[in-house]
Amino acid sequence: MLRVVTPPPRKKTTTGLLLIAVSSAIVGLAAFSCRKETPPPPAEVNPLDAIPLRPPKTRTPLGAGAIATRVVLVETPAAAAAASTVVVGMAGKFYGVDAKTGVLRWQRPGAPLLFRPMTEGARLLLPHVEKGTGVVADVDPVSGKTKRETRLTLAHRDTPGAIGVTLNTAPTAAGNVIVWPSSASLYGFALDTGKQLWRYDSEGPTPYRRFQFGSEPALVDAGTAYWAHQRGLAAVDVATGKARWAWPGFRGFALRPVLSAESVFTTSDKEVVALDRASGQVRWMFAPEQLRFEHLAGEDMAGYSNGVYWFVGEPIPFHYWLLFLDAKTGKGRASAELFGRGLIGSIASDGLRLYARLGEWLIAYELATAKPIWRLPLGGVENGSSPKVAGGRVWIVDSNGNLIGADASK
């Protein structure tokens, strides 16, 4: 029979307790290391990081950050020694900047309500509204000196109880005529005298409740002003103010019109329409189920090139897509989602590339594919301007009031 012998009890020592504790710790660590732990989530990748940075060619401080107009480039004849001039309006002043060096040439006061500068041939015209009156200054682009300043005489409406109108949309120069829209009417003024030549009143189904937002600047070509307002679009004779034709349409939200040789492309709040330039007849309509333009209203977000009409739409709120249509048939050709959701202001294009302000970045894309090419920081999302392509550069005012010129090439 087996007998179990119990050994005598051991005397406990400090060393023994320490060894026991260490052994327990080792066993515990071994057990812990054998457990299957959930790995930490991967760090979120910012797609912006993959887009190369583009340094600016010029950076011109203009003042404290404020909302600015889009720039205009005034070309100087090749025989002249001076370079061309970039002109922009911001915070009640117009500024002229050397297009090559970025050196500030001049500044001149306008008024709190400024509009984008205009060119008519070699003339630089600076429009603003002063105490309700439209003013157009003819200015030397190199020196900034005033050649002539014309105050426009706006006749009061002839309807009972009316007290006048507000010129709240950017004007367009058409020879010796300034075509200047209000919310509901289009006016023609003589550039030299300021006399009102005519008035065209908009017609269409859109209620007037949206008119406080203004209309669109007129596109002028071959003696006709194509004006998109909130009740549709009209083709108006620049000399007489008579309508050649009018297309009525609900335009609660819409993009600015675009011209080709045969058509004028415009939108309602949820469709693209191609109208015959001569007659105003509808050539085609493009209206997929979810297409909207709600957050793109009143901006340059479309263009025409080589038989293709392209535009930025919003099939999902705050998701912006670049869509391509056959300009003759209206059939969709391709589409691509633009990177980023914070689209600010208008876009610009040179026919090959598209330049968009997305959040605090200016981003260049290939127009045909919407592939991002480069990015440039703007310092923030407030203030500044939309981009403008001129003279081989993209011009934009950043959030801190700096006029930036960046190389537009790839």
| CB contact at 8 A, 266 and 276 | no
Mean pLDDT of the chain: 83
| 119: its two tokens | 């060119």
| CB contact at 8 A, 338 and 301 | no
For 166-238, CATH gives: 2.40.10.480
Lowest average pLDDT, out of 45-59, 74-88, 284-298, goes to 74-88
| CB contact at 8 A, 112 and 123 | no
pTM, full prediction = 0.83
| CA separation, residue 348 to residues 100, 111, 398 (Å) | 20, 27, 15
Percent of the chain residues topping a pLDDT of 70 = 82
Q: Stretch 161-189: mean pLDDT, rounded? A: 85
pLDDT of residue 126: 97
pLDDT of residue 385: 94
The predicted-structure confidence for 105-155, as pLDDT tens digits, reads as follows 999 998 888 999 999 878 899 999 988 789 999 999 999 999 999 999 887
Spatial distance between the Cα atoms of 138 and 130, rounded to a whole number of angstroms: 16
Residue 220 has pLDDT above 60, yes or no: yes
| CB contact at 8 A, 56 and 404 | yes
The predicted-structure confidence for 231-277, as pLDDT tens digits, reads as follows 889 999 999 999 999 998 877 667 889 999 999 999 888 899 999 99
CA 48 distance to own-chain centroid? 19
Spatial distance between the Cα atoms of 107 and 169, rounded to a whole number of angstroms: 23
- What's the pLDDT band for 58 if we cut at 50, 70, 90? very high
Q: Stretch 178-199: mean pLDDT, rounded? A: 93
- What's the pLDDT band for 344 if we cut at 50, 70, 90? confident
Q: Which residue has the higher pLDDT, 216 or 62?
A: 62
- DSSP summary character for residue 192: T
The residues pairing with 119 across neighbouring beta strands, listed in sequence order, are 124
The predicted-structure confidence for 271-323, as pLDDT tens digits, reads as follows 999 999 999 999 999 999 888 887 777 788 999 988 999 999 888 877 888 99
Q: Which of 382, 409, 410, 407 is nearest to 397 (CA)?
A: 382
Neighbours of 172 (CB within 10 A): 22
| CA separation, residue 116 to residues 145, 151, 250, 305, 386 (Å) | 18, 17, 27, 24, 11
Percent of the chain residues topping a pLDDT of 90 = 55
